[in-house]
Structure 1
Amino acid sequence: MNTLVSKSFFIIGVMVWLIIRIPYQREQKENIIINDQKTIQEKIVRLLVLMGIMFIPLVYVLFPRLNFTNHSLPIWAIGLGTAILALSLWLFWRSHHDLGKNWSSTLQIREGHTLTTNGVYQNIRHPMYTSVLLLCIAQALLLPNWIAGLSGLISFSIAYATRVNQEEQMLLNRFGSEYEAYRQRTKRLVPYLF
């Protein structure tokens, strides 16, 4: 399998990722927001993630500018990357599906917001972050370039480190002991590990 195939898998995966989100973004527009904690920091971090997962890989795929940091990957890495990408897309869709109207792309609480603890949220508090982490791992395995391959992991790590505690505090403020009990019985990203 050559790099054109692995690049194509990744680009198709990102396109599917964007398509998955469309109906939920439309539904989100109908929400009445009662607590909005969007900050300039969050906007910058979201832009950083978009650059790391979409813009830099797209530049790498379409133009030779980043080829000076290319490296080779074994065939098993491409197969593993494709499998992880598929798992990421399923988890991304499932996370949106299970959240339903409670989903927001930013730090917001909507009117009638409920705590989701079913489906993939039964064992993982942040399965959408897990899906993005898996996407970034797939990116590193499918794009044999030190910059384009790792840009997703780097940008996601920064976003996760700056956002997850704020999100959990917001949910704790909203749901109190119900959210605390949920935190005690679940893991943030990977069930039974982290």
Structure 2
Amino acid sequence: MNHEAQYGYGLWSLVFINSAIFIIFAFSFTKPKTSRDWRSFGAFSGFIVALFTEMYGIPLSIYLLLPWLSARVPGIDFLTHDAGHLPEMIFGWRGNPHWGPFHIASNIMIFGGFLMLSAAWRVLYQAQQRHELATTGLYARMRHPQYVGFALIMLGFLLQWPTILTLAMFPVLVWMYVRLAKAEEREALREFGQEYESYRKRTPAFLPHFVPRDRSAPHPH
């Protein structure tokens, strides 16, 4: 078999095109304005570039893990593109990896994350135009749906194409988003006072209440 014909990397045009598509999508859904917006968007963009660089450019993680991978799953050329879908390879999926369970779950998470960004931005933009607190739509379920959307997209990509660098970046970026969320809350408290305090008490920060609370039910003593 001709290894050169099977080598799935060094495709720098695909690195650029795919990075640009997802970064532009994220920009169109979030439209960053403040320095905080740009920090969160920039961190997400860095994650995307690092991901596609290894997906199509230089498979650094596969080079580093190749001895272990070859021993764990013998008989697979891990320098082909399809074999770069490591969860499918490691857990024994031998069909087209794009139809594997991890890849399908990944696509659902990525698509869902972008839907969250889009839906949250519309609510937030309308509230900002009216100089009001955003408390409807996804903001009625959680206080920071945009950051949850970014995390969901990154988690989806990790499930599809994990790399050492992006796995290391993910917890750092989540920590950064938590810090940015806390900074936003301090500003909202200064601007909206008791209104925001009441909203914060009844609405979780990141993990939503899927079943609305029954406010008429008696409180336990």
TM-score by length of 2: 0.62
Structure 2 gaps of 5+ residues are: 1-7, 9-13, 70-85, 89-99, 211-221
Give the match for residue 209 of structure 2: 192
| Worse overlay, 113-122 or 174-183 | 113-122
| Alpha-carbon distance between aligned partners in 2 of 1:113 and 1:152, rounded to the nearest angstrom | 35
Evaluate the alpha carbon distance shift between residue 64 and residue 22 of structure 1 in structure 2; reply closer, same or farther with a 3 A threshold.
same
Evaluate the alpha carbon distance shift between residue 85 and residue 165 of structure 1 in structure 2; reply closer, same or farther with a 3 A threshold.
same
Evaluate the alpha carbon distance shift between residue 86 and residue 127 of structure 1 in structure 2; reply closer, same or farther with a 3 A threshold.
same
Aligned length in residues: 165
How far 1:18 moved relative to its partner?
2.7
Give the match for residue 144 of structure 1: 162
Give the match for residue 56 of structure 1: 50
Give the match for residue 73 of structure 1: 87
Give the match for residue 99 of structure 1: 124
Structure 1 gaps of 5+ residues are: 30-35, 104-110
Give the match for residue 174 of structure 1: 191
- 1:15 equivalent in alignment to 2:33: no
RMSD between aligned residues: 3.2
How far 1:15 moved relative to its partner?
2.5
Give the match for residue 174 of structure 2: 157
How far 1:118 moved relative to its partner?
0.7
Higher relative contact order (CA 8 A, sep 6+): 1
How far 1:93 moved relative to its partner?
0.7
TM-score by length of 1: 0.70
Larger radius of gyration between Structure 1 and Structure 2:
2
Q: Deviations over 1:108-148 (max 9, x none)?
A: xxx85210111111111100011011011101111132323
User: Contact 1:120/1:127 (CA < 8 Å) preserved in 2?
Assistant: yes
Evaluate the alpha carbon distance shift between residue 170 and residue 69 of structure 1 in structure 2; reply closer, same or farther with a 3 A threshold.
farther
